[in-house]
Structure 1
Amino acid sequence: MDEERILESERLQIEQIRQLDLEELQVEEVDDQDSSDDEQDPTARTATHDEFNFNTSIVSLHTYLGEVDDTHHRTAFLDGGAILNLPLFYFEGVVLFPGATLPLRVIQSNFIAAVERALGQVDVPYTIGVIRIYRDPHNLRIKLATVGTTAEIRQYRRLEDGSLNVVTRGQQRFRLRRHWIDVDGVPCGEVQIINEDLPLRTPRDAFGRLAPLSNLPSCLLASKNSHAQMLRSKTGETESEEDSDESFENGLSLTERRIHQSLTSSSYEHEMTDGSASSDDEFTYESDQEVRSNPNDRDSMRTLLSNSGKETEMDSRIGNCSTSGKQSYKVELFRNCRKNTDAYPSRRISRAFWPHWVYLMFDSYCLAQRAADLWKQIVGAPNMDGLLKKPDHLSFLIASKLPVSESTRQELLEIDGISYRLRREIELLESINLIRCKNCRTIIARRSDMLVMSSEGPLGAYVNPGGYVHEIMTLLKANGLALQGPAVTEFSWFPGYAWTITNCAACETQMGWLFTATNRKLKPGSFWGIRSSQVAEETR
């Protein structure tokens, strides 16, 4: 009965907060002419029920830490493969990406010594290593991740009690080779900087400038072409160039495919060596080479014609001719068939080894455009268009701001290859829907409930007075959460808002905080901050 009264009182608190918001809406009116501005400003679009007037750029400054001094130091990027020793900071529930900001409240003496050592390092000054720790689900032992990120100390301030306020920024990924505690109690690690690959782009000569090659002779394609057209006419489907290129070779038999590939490759090699040759001379040269390189082509050709129902008297005459005669007949046959294939333009393929869509799967710039478009549709802010020419930076930025579980974020950090990371992020952006409690899998919110309260995105790292770093995702509304304790304004991560601890109503796990505006004119009037470490891995 006591628990029911507590839950009921907490529900009343939430209703009172929402009632305040409704009262404010009755006073203020929103002009319809501002709708076009909302489309351009994603932060205004996310707050669908209230006018959004909160300054999101303040949050990224971490003003709750007080005054911090700029170190005026910027570390040059280290060469890939370099091995060095760094002071280590390890966190549970935090994954740092290159380019992301990580605030620290350093209280423990061993970590204070680690910061001081980093400030005085000669080879890589002002640099620490940040790595995630987690509990093994089988034996519950603490383990360190294999991939972390170097962090440069950008701002620093020593307080009167000896503690430190530090703001760092992620630099480069590394692999942890080994770790230890030195005589001063400082956690250290030997790390190797990961050699990042360059963004991939579709080869310029794969498409566009090169003319397509003809496929097999039209006499072999007529029956397949007419049959395919008949099927499409029945189903009402249309054939695109990419579909025809892809499905044609899959429909060939092993013998047909071998001859098709040999013709394609030999023709390509000849044009690369002698681009001035005429089409007829080029084909004669390729056919002669095929006859000389593979004496079994005569049997293969007879088999092809026989299987397609097109065996003619010319084929039987091939076997009764001399060697030179066989070559002449075969060259003549292929030359005539090649001329006939021009009547079937849909059966012409690119000289590229793979279809165009295969190259697009690994084109970092095309993937970056697709990821940026999805981000704009689903999340909105920050705008990713400025990073389209830097797919590597964009992939890290999206990974650092995706509202997913910490284990999924660690997975993104460990992916080598820009195109692979972007493809995984696109998959997550398309599939993210439900946000669930990690313990009981209660649905807390949906993707449409995300709210961008920081200029850096809907997910960010913040540190509390006790030195614990939390990565939280901000939501406009949430379900199944119970409030615990009063609202507190001290050390608030969001200026102008008071925070209240919230637990999962089903399993009583601390899920995050409810932030309520201290000024009724501040919009949104309330929002939720959910810890990514308490979000279930499956978010679909």
Structure 2
Amino acid sequence: MDDDRILERERLQIELIRELDFEELQVEEVEEDSPDYDEDDLAAFRVTSHTRLSDNLGADELIFNPDVASLHTYLGEVEDTPNRIASVDGGTVLKLPLFYLEGVVLFPESTLPLRIIQSSFLAAVERALNQTNAPCTIGVIRVYREGHQFKYATVGTTAEIRQYRRLSDGSFNVITRGQQRFRLKRRWTDVEGFPCGEVHIVDEDVPLRTPRDAFGKLVPVSNLRGRCDSSKMSTFTPHRDTDEQSVANSEESFEGSLTLSEKRLHYSAVDSLMDGWTSSDDDQVVRTSNIQSSAAHSYSSRSIGCSGQDDKNESGNGKSPVSQGKGQKHYRLTSFREKTDLNRFRMAPRAFWPHWVYRMYDSYHLAQRAADLWKQIVGVPNMEAVVNKPDILSFFIASKIPVSESIRQELLEIDGVSYRLQREIELLESFDLVRCKHCQTVIARRSDMLVMSSDGPLGAYVNPHGYVHEIMTFYKANDIALRGRPVLKDSWFPGYAWTIANCATCETQLGWLFTAANKKLKPSSFWAVRSSQVADDMR
């Protein structure tokens, strides 16, 4: 159903853009020192009429609509593919055509545009469109350079071919969407010359939720040690923090919201976490109880012996038969009380760690934290729609967070929703500086980030030669030198011309400067930096 809604939204947006093609848009005259644009280039401006006006700007000024960039209109008209299938079960083994992409990390639910020119990859697309076991599906693997050699990642993502267009020269324009993670078992070259692989679909874990009804009332075992004294244990009442009490009072029962399978998984994880500690804690409690019991017996004997009675019993132990009987009765009563309190202690609900520790692994709590950080730092797209789906949200953030490709590959390889969210929260909190991968020159800062696509501050785009680039966008950049003149043709952002941008220190191509051809279009310019050229250290 979610896929249908996405496709319907895309269709409506495309139809709106096509309608706007018939509307007239006043284009400002190009100055002499501006780049030369032909009529075909200016026709691209019609797409920019699909914009919204800003209340803070003049009525004649236009704000670029980020929804346009996410549609990849530079690929032209594309058709929906038939016979697509839903996701396969985790653990399934498939044989798929493989696409090795340098500088690209594909995540589930992310869009990946492709331009297929080479004959071998044209055969791969034909195979994918017609295969029966997984129709319209390819595998995407990140390839990277290590010295003079190419290395291949072992974890990738299946991509569903959702739309395509066969051009007159036989090439393909393709729009795919990531589906499921997989582990590459083996790879080979097909007789038609394209790479194939046997992939094992990852069986994703179910996001776990810490049931506050279970843990909210627990006292850490470490707080109970040494509390086996009967006077203390008889008055023992499990406590909880004021904050946790308010949370429990304001939210529904967590246990009630879990499905049967989620409950089994959750309590299995909790049991395995505490099994290693409860037995050792019980042993310590028993030892403490025995020491206290011996001490109590010794104290009661001494107290009775000093009670002023001078009589001695027949055995010469300095106690009268009456006082000896009272002492034995008192010891038996004390021992019974201590055993009863010890049994109560053993039966009491316990947790080895405080409740806040368990929340560190609560996928739903982590998802809310990550969504709040994303809203504070990035803003677009809004994550509230998927905050109750931690697994999807973790992939959304991983696919859009503006960090280096190697860090994003690290996120792709993390098993466990809570662990992936923890790492993303750490990155969002620490991400600040963007440096050149080769010379470590500071290119931009987090505060310079600008979102030019509804997909977020990082996205994948393909050029006419078939190279896919993942870029992050900024409104300001440092130590960058421009090369050549602005070009409007094949622009990823309609209405903007692109100019190659190199690092001023090491002359590595970092990305592009995009400048508005229409001076009424805002922003007037922005920078696009390739994630493959960004250093891992972004602090």
Match of 2:292 among 287, 297, 301: 301
Post-superposition offset of 1:313: 1.8
- Give the TM-score normalised by the residue count of structure 2: 0.71
In 1: Cα distance, 2:463 partner to 2:303 partner: 90
In 2: Cα distance, 1:61 partner to 1:31 partner: 26
In 1: Cα distance, 2:199 partner to 2:472 partner: 30
Q: Aligned runs of 1:277-292 on 2, under 5 Å? A: none
Q: 1:199 to 1:148 in 2, by over 3 A?
A: same
Post-superposition offset of 1:135: 1.7
Counterpart for residue 69 of structure 2: 59
Match of 2:110 among 75, 79, 100: 100
Q: Aligned runs of 1:54-93 on 2, under 5 Å? A: 54-93=64-103
Counterpart for residue 120 of structure 2: 110
**Counterpart residue identity of residue 163, structure 2:** Q
Post-superposition offset of 1:317: 8.0
Q: Secondary structure at the match of 1:473?
A: strand
Counterpart for residue 190 of structure 2: 182
Counterpart for residue 299 of structure 2: 313
Q: 1:384 to 1:259 in 2, by over 3 A?
A: closer
Post-superposition offset of 1:388: 1.1
Is the aligned partner of 1:262 residue 2:282?
yes
Counterpart for residue 481 of structure 2: 482
Post-superposition offset of 1:149: 0.2
8 A Cα contact 1:492 1:498, kept in partner? yes
Counterpart for residue 161 of structure 1: 169
In 2: Cα distance, 1:479 partner to 1:377 partner: 24
Counterpart for residue 383 of structure 2: 384
In 1: Cα distance, 2:535 partner to 2:442 partner: 10
8 A Cα contact 2:230 2:341, kept in partner? no
Number of aligned residue pairs: give it. 424
Q: Secondary structure at the match of 2:385?
A: helix
Q: 1:395-442, CA deviations, whole angstroms, 9 ceiling, x for partnerless residues?
A: 000000010000000000000000000000000000000000000000
Q: Which has the higher contact order (CA 8 A, sep 6+)?
A: 1
Post-superposition offset of 1:393: 0.4
In 2: Cα distance, 1:100 partner to 1:385 partner: 17
Counterpart for residue 406 of structure 1: 405
- Give the TM-score normalised by the residue count of structure 1: 0.71
Post-superposition offset of 1:301: 2.4
Q: 1:188 to 1:30 in 2, by over 3 A?
A: closer
Q: 1:34-90, CA deviations, whole angstroms, 9 ceiling, x for partnerless residues?
A: 9xxxxxxxxxxxxxxxx8811110111100011111114432111111111000001
In 2: Cα distance, 1:206 partner to 1:484 partner: 63
Is the aligned partner of 1:173 residue 2:181?
yes
Counterpart for residue 452 of structure 1: 451
**Counterpart residue identity of residue 108, structure 2:** P
Match of 1:194 among 202, 206, 221: 202
Q: 1:119-158, CA deviations, whole angstroms, 9 ceiling, x for partnerless residues?
A: 0000100000000011224xx3111101000000001111
Counterpart for residue 331 of structure 1: 336
8 A Cα contact 1:242 1:355, kept in partner? no
Q: Secondary structure at the match of 2:351?
A: coil
In 1: Cα distance, 2:341 partner to 2:536 partner: 61
In 2: Cα distance, 1:117 partner to 1:326 partner: 85
Q: 1:386 to 1:242 in 2, by over 3 A?
A: closer
Q: Secondary structure at the match of 1:407?
A: helix
Identity of aligned residues (%): 62
8 A Cα contact 1:206 1:351, kept in partner? no
Q: Secondary structure at the match of 2:350?
A: coil
Q: Aligned runs of 1:206-217 on 2, under 5 Å? A: 206-208=214-216, 215=224, 216-217=226-227
8 A Cα contact 1:212 1:350, kept in partner? no
Q: 1:325 to 1:431 in 2, by over 3 A?
A: same
**Counterpart residue identity of residue 451, structure 2:** V
Post-superposition offset of 1:351: 3.1
Is the aligned partner of 1:467 residue 2:466?
yes
In 1: Cα distance, 2:475 partner to 2:402 partner: 13
**Counterpart residue identity of residue 185, structure 1:** G
8 A Cα contact 2:164 2:174, kept in partner? yes
8 A Cα contact 2:481 2:502, kept in partner? yes
In 1: Cα distance, 2:215 partner to 2:494 partner: 54
8 A Cα contact 2:216 2:355, kept in partner? no
In 1: Cα distance, 2:152 partner to 2:62 partner: 41
In 1: Cα distance, 2:150 partner to 2:489 partner: 32
8 A Cα contact 2:228 2:341, kept in partner? no
In 2: Cα distance, 1:428 partner to 1:217 partner: 42
In 1: Cα distance, 2:211 partner to 2:391 partner: 19
Unaligned ranges ≥5, structure 2: 1-32, 35-52, 233-239, 245-276, 305-323
